[in-house]
Amino acid sequence: MTDLSALSPAPPGTRDAVLKFFFGPMDCGKSTLALQMNYNHGRQGRRGLVLTKHDRSGGPQVTSRIGLGLEAIEVEDSLNLVELVRAHDRVDYLICDEACFYTVEQIEQLADVVDDHGVDVYAFGLASDFRSVMFPAAQRLFELADEVCRLQVEVLCWCGRPGLLNGRIVGGELVRTGEQVVIGDTDLAADRSPVRYQVLCRRHHRSGLLGEGTI
């Protein structure tokens, strides 16, 4: 006979912690959602930490393109995220913006934070770089996360098709070589040219056409 007590629901207010990864191209609202989730959890009395790396502002904060912002902890490569959680009396959740730029070891630490410390982790970031190659940290999040969610805010290529990929533009041209992480509108290319990024559909990311009247 089945032991029905083993099938009874968990006590109210208890559940397993989760690791969720929200991804999408530029301009799809990742940082905006990160800030909104932090606000919503805080309103319910939960205590959390907001983390980021290489924010577009150049400082230790999460900023969105619609003007929202919040101070955050900068995730240096040497930062141990398990030790960060242990250093606080109580942490219910982590908001991890720009998680694609974390180290793979730090993604493993996020899984440890969830499994061993019962802390919810909400990670946000790009899936692939300017070459359409997946970031190592993003790949590990795809492999480890309990839930992977593509953000549904529509981002368009200049031609009107869905924007799926981020192109790196240097000197007015799409480039396919260089360091994997270069912050647009902040860093310079090797030849000192300004760097910017543009969301493109697959067709125009592959062809390199940037919208000068040719589709």
Q: Tens of pLDDT along 137-150? A: 999 999 999 999 99
Give CA–CA dist 210/75, Å, rounded: 33
Contact 24/149 with Cβ under 8 angstroms? Answer: no
Name the range with the highest mean pLDDT among 64-68, 104-108, 209-213.
104-108
Q: What is the pTM of this model?
A: 0.82
Q: Tens of pLDDT along 22-31? A: 999 888 888 8
Q: How many domains does the chain have?
A: 2
Instruction: Note whether 138 and 182 are same-domain residues.
Output: no
Angle CA(93)–CA(96)–CA(98) in degrees, nearest 5? 170
What residues are annotated to the active site? Answer: 98
Contact 165/27 with Cβ under 8 angstroms? Answer: no
Instruction: Note whether 86 and 175 are same-domain residues.
Output: no
Residue 66 domain-assigned? yes
Residue 2 domain-assigned? no
Give CA–CA dist 102/93, Å, rounded: 18
DSSP 8-state class, residue 2 = -
Alpha carbons within 13 A on the beta-carbon side of 198? 19
Q: Where in the sequence is the domain holding 179, given as residue range(s)? A: 165-207
Domain CATH code at residue 90: 3.40.50.300
Q: Tens of pLDDT along 150-194? A: 987 788 999 999 999 999 999 889 999 988 988 776 555 555 578
